[in-house]
Structure 1
Amino acid sequence: MSKPIVTLATCAALPNLDEDDAGLPDALAERGIEPRVAVWNDPDVDWAEAGMVVLRSVHDYAKDREAFLRWVDSVPRVVNHADVVRWNTDKHYMVELAERGMPVIPTVWLEPERGLTKHQVHTRFPASGDFVVKPAVSSGGHGTGRYTANDARSRQQAVGHAMELLERGRSVMVQRYLESVDKRGETALIYMNGLVSHAVEKEAMLHGPYREQGEEPTEVAHAREATAAEWRLGEEARAAIHSYIKSRLGRDEQLTFSRIDVVEGENGQMHVMEVSLVDASLYLSTTPGALESFADAIAVRAFW
């Protein structure tokens, strides 16, 4: 009996996977799988022979989302499911979650087809406090900046950032920056095949305007025990996600991996910050046994 093939899809900048996933091929081989690693847009790869394709460090998908989605649609067997990937690669999915009762960060959406002027963009920013400007299609914090409403220069920078994105035909999100992120960070809840795996604390990444902090903020994460309230919100978010998937596909679809980022807002209320179902960093190196759990989750699917 031949071994099932699992190809871990990555990007050209990380041809040997992200450091956090580096041990995954060996772990899969130990489970009777033939592991492969391939760059998703490498024209020399025959994806018909790739077996089950697991999306990992495809961090450049936002540069050409449509090309990436065409590739995903062409892959015979990809996880997570192609329709889920299409939904999750545009942060308008947060609107869907909010409609399904999830407490998400209140967001002002700036759409390129509206033809907004600089003044109109300016009036859509918060009147006080810090806020964030970011594209609706992005990965790893790319294209995201933090600004201060009370500082004229900072607001001007924010207008310039938003206008640059809009002029490139990209939808823009404006969100109030939650001070708790500086004090406590975000909590990432990681699930594999629908089961709780582990949680990490992600330190604050945004410290200034997009151009001044560099194109990609540095992410630092540490293992921590999530609170009961955080896990409860995670379960509510997963229920909303699966409700959407069922409405979209006509059936439920188990997610091989998922990460739900939650954060504490005003008055202690928890909010869903982001849901990562495509190129999610799973912080496998932070928690003993996490790498093995992910390999097990992939193996279960590979042997179906």
Structure 2
Amino acid sequence: MAAPIVTLATSADLPNLDADEAGLPDALRARGIEPRIAVWNDPNVDWSASDLTVVRSVRDYATDREAFLAWAGSVPRLLNQANLMEWNSDKHYLKELGERGLPVIPTTWLEADVEYSKHQIHTRFPAHGDFVVKPAVSSGGRGTGRYTATDAMSRADAIKHASHELRHGRSVMVQRYLSETDRSGELSIVYLNGLPAYSVEKKAMLHPRFRSVDEVQDEDVVTSSPASEQEFRWGEQIRSVLHKYISEKCGRDELLLYNRVDIVRGIREGESEFYVMEISLMDGSLYLSADPENLNKFADAIAVRAFW
């Protein structure tokens, strides 16, 4: 029996995958799989020659989302599935999940097809505390900035930032910055083939004057460990809402190869225990180098699907 061919899809600026995933080809080879790496928009790649294609370091998808989604729709046996990546590549999905009862960070949406005056943008910012401005379609923290509501200069910069994104046809998210993020950081729960595999604690990435225009931002992992009972409970609440939505959207419950959920804890009385910051079904790091077992678990998950 020939070894199944698994192609790992990446971007032109990461032709050998992200450094976090450098050990993945060898791990797959050790499991009887022939691994290949290919750039998603390379016209010379025959994607039908693979038994399975796994989307990984496609950090540039947001710069040409339509072309990326057209490519995804043309690839046989793609994981995660193309229709789910289309949904996940626009962060309006948070609005949909919030309407279904999932606790998401409070967000105001500025839509690209509406002409806003500077005053109208100004009135949509919070009156107190810090807040974040970012485009609804982005990858790796590009186009993200943190601002202070009560600082006139910071607020003016936020207006310029939002106006810039809107002028380029990109819808904008304005999110309240949760102060607990600075104290306890962010938490990512990684699911593999529908099951909780591990969790990662990360330092807060957005310092008070943070602004990322073009460069992908590196995340600082603090610890990686199996999901705790509390994290498992939170993850199951998120997974239940997500998979119910997927089932309704697709007519069936698609089994995700991987799913990373980023959350921040809530601390105020009467608030939720946690808030969902992001759900990543495509390009988000899985922190494979944070613990050797993370790499092995992901390779095992791919092998299950490759030999399915």
Q: Please, which moves more after superposition, 214-223 or 69-78? A: 214-223
Give unmatched runs, 5+ long, in structure 2: none
Q: Is the 8 A contact 2:143 2:212 kept in 1?
A: no
Match of 1:262 in 2: 263
In the TM superposition, what whole-angstrom CA distance separates every residue of 1:10-64 from its partner, at most 9, and x where no partner exists?
Answer: 0111100011111111111111111000010111111121321101100110001
Residues 206 and 30 of structure 1, relative CA distance in 2, 3 Å threshold: same
Residues 6-85 of structure 1 aligned to structure 2 (within 5 Å): 6-85=6-85
For 1:229 and 1:142, locate their aligned partners in 2 and report how far apart those are by CA, in whole Å: 31
For 2:114 and 2:72, locate their aligned partners in 1 and report how far apart those are by CA, in whole Å: 30
Q: Is the 8 A contact 1:207 1:213 kept in 2?
A: no
In the TM superposition, what whole-angstrom CA distance separates every residue of 1:247-304 from its partner, at most 9, and x where no partner exists?
Answer: 0111111111111111012426311111011012110111231111111100110111
Within the candidate set 266, 271, 275, 1:271 is matched to 275
Match of 2:179 in 1: 179
1:155 aligns with 2:159: no
Residues 45-194 of structure 1 aligned to structure 2 (within 5 Å): 45-194=45-194
For 1:20 and 1:7, locate their aligned partners in 2 and report how far apart those are by CA, in whole Å: 17
For 1:40 and 1:223, locate their aligned partners in 2 and report how far apart those are by CA, in whole Å: 31
Match of 1:242 in 2: 243
In the TM superposition, what whole-angstrom CA distance separates every residue of 1:176-199 from its partner, at most 9, and x where no partner exists?
Answer: 111111111000001111122111
Give how far 1:128 is off. 1.0
For 2:234 and 2:194, locate their aligned partners in 1 and report how far apart those are by CA, in whole Å: 15
For 1:182 and 1:210, locate their aligned partners in 2 and report how far apart those are by CA, in whole Å: 13
Residues 71 and 209 of structure 1, relative CA distance in 2, 3 Å threshold: farther
Q: Please, which moves more after superposition, 261-270 or 237-246? A: 261-270
Q: Is the 8 A contact 1:157 1:209 kept in 2?
A: no
Q: 3-state DSSP class of the match of 1:8?
A: strand
For 2:133 and 2:12, locate their aligned partners in 1 and report how far apart those are by CA, in whole Å: 27
Q: Is the 8 A contact 2:8 2:55 kept in 1?
A: yes
Q: Is the 8 A contact 1:136 1:171 kept in 2?
A: yes
For 1:283 and 1:130, locate their aligned partners in 2 and report how far apart those are by CA, in whole Å: 28
> So what's the TM-score if we normalise by structure 2?
0.95
Give unmatched runs, 5+ long, in structure 1: none
Residues 57 and 220 of structure 1, relative CA distance in 2, 3 Å threshold: same
Give how far 1:212 is off. 7.1
1:298 aligns with 2:298: no
1:288 aligns with 2:292: yes
Match of 2:203 in 1: 203
In the TM superposition, what whole-angstrom CA distance separates every residue of 1:222-260 from its partner, at most 9, and x where no partner exists?
Answer: 224555333212111111111111101111111111111
Considering fraction of residues, name the structure with more helix.
1
Give how far 1:217 is off. 2.9
Residues 205-244 of structure 1 aligned to structure 2 (within 5 Å): 205-209=205-209, 211=211, 215-225=215-225, 226-244=227-245
For 1:232 and 1:261, locate their aligned partners in 2 and report how far apart those are by CA, in whole Å: 14
Q: 3-state DSSP class of the match of 1:188?
A: strand
> Runs of 4 or more off by more than 6 Å in structure 1?
none
Q: 3-state DSSP class of the match of 1:3?
A: coil
Give how far 1:207 is off. 1.9
Give how far 1:218 is off. 2.9
Q: Is the 8 A contact 2:135 2:173 kept in 1?
A: yes
Residues 82 and 176 of structure 1, relative CA distance in 2, 3 Å threshold: same
Q: 3-state DSSP class of the match of 1:145?
A: strand
For 1:217 and 1:297, locate their aligned partners in 2 and report how far apart those are by CA, in whole Å: 27
Superposition RMSD on alpha carbons, in Å? Answer: 1.5
> So what's the TM-score if we normalise by structure 1?
0.96
For 1:213 and 1:204, locate their aligned partners in 2 and report how far apart those are by CA, in whole Å: 18
For 1:200 and 1:163, locate their aligned partners in 2 and report how far apart those are by CA, in whole Å: 34
Amino acid corresponding to residue 279 of structure 2 in structure 1 = V
Residues 231 and 137 of structure 1, relative CA distance in 2, 3 Å threshold: same
For 1:229 and 1:154, locate their aligned partners in 2 and report how far apart those are by CA, in whole Å: 37
Give the fraction of aligned pairs with identical amino acids, expressed as a percent.
60
